[in-house]
Amino acid sequence: MSLEGETQGSDKWLALRSSRLTASAFSNACGFWRGGRNELWEEKLGLAEPFAGNEATEWGSGKEDEAVAAYKNLTGADVSHMLFRVLSPDEAELWLGASPDGLIAAPGAADVDPATGVPPGVLEIKCPWNKGDPVGAKPYPRAPWYYVPQVQGLMAVFDRQWCDLFCYTVEHGSAIYRVERDPEYWAMMYRALSDFWWQHVVPGKHAIAAGEDPERFRPSETHALTDELKRRSREISNAAQMRRYTARDTRGSG
């Protein structure tokens, strides 16, 4: 089964993700949210239905093509769709993967932009739900710190040096937050992700397969590195460069 070239939302794409830890779940696996590690563990063991989306995710999915078109026209960048990739073809790394909203290159660029020397990046789109009022949503004042595990994971999996987190709104413009790759952060987060997978998910699956109760492998609410990862996430968020665009610019580029 190929792990690349899969379209988001396809049956094959969903199957590839269901048996792996993917970037959108990294913050939960690291203990950023109350109950997140337990919910994710239950999903991966088949003890709970996987998250099937809600109004917020439906809104984001419905606006994604619009947002990609806006980003491309605002920046002049080429954006290619969509790969699912694992961290490494090595069998020991097949448990971890990611699927970004786009892979970015400047027009005509290969390994780097010939004009600027900047290597290609990765795109992650956010269309805020704004507590049920998405039309009234405004771009974030800064890159949300709780997305840092996801974007650092995307950069690690796709070997990109930066991620543009693009916040797209319908009536109040848009913003691009340039997040730089941080190998030290990734190394620390990888430890937390690996512990979650190999100390809790895998032995829990083995227990179920053997007809045993997996409860003894249930993870704690947080990991030993959770607080430090949150602190570093805020630092990375605060360091991200932001470019704001008016509603006219954003609409006019669609």
Mean pLDDT of all residues in 164-184: 96
Distance CA 21, CA 97 (A): 6
Length of the chain: 254
Residue 45 pLDDT exceeds 60: yes
Give the angle subtended at the CA of 93 by the CAs of 88 and 95, to the nearest 5°. Answer: 120
Would you call 169 exposed, middle or buried from its count of C-beta atoms within 10 A (0-12, 13-18, 19+)?
buried
- Percent pLDDT > 90 in the chain is 67
With bands split at pLDDT 50, 70 and 90, how would you rate the model's confidence at 8? low
pLDDT score, position 205: 96
Residue 110 pLDDT exceeds 70: no
Chain-wide mean pLDDT for the chain?
Answer: 88
Are the CB atoms for 167 and 126 separated by under 8 Å? yes
Domain annotation for the chain: domains and CATH numbers: 11-247 (3.90.320.10)
pLDDT score, position 4: 52
pLDDT score, position 253: 45
Distance CA 89, CA 86 (A): 7
pTM above threshold 0.95? no
User: Read out DSSP for 92-150?
Assistant: GGTTEEE--SEEEE-TT-SSS-TTT-PPPEEEEEE---GGG-GGG----SS--GGGHHH
With bands split at pLDDT 50, 70 and 90, how would you rate the model's confidence at 15? low
Residue 1 pLDDT exceeds 80: no
Q: Which residue did the predictor score with more confidence, 4 or 54? A: 54
In the sheet that holds 96-98, the strands lie side by side as 21-22, 96-98, 85-86
pLDDT score, position 254: 44
Residue 242 pLDDT exceeds 50: yes
- Here the tokens at position 144 are 């949300």
Residue 211 pLDDT exceeds 70: yes
Distance CA 241, CA 254 (A): 23
Distance CA 96, CA 21 (A): 5
One-letter amino acid of 19: S
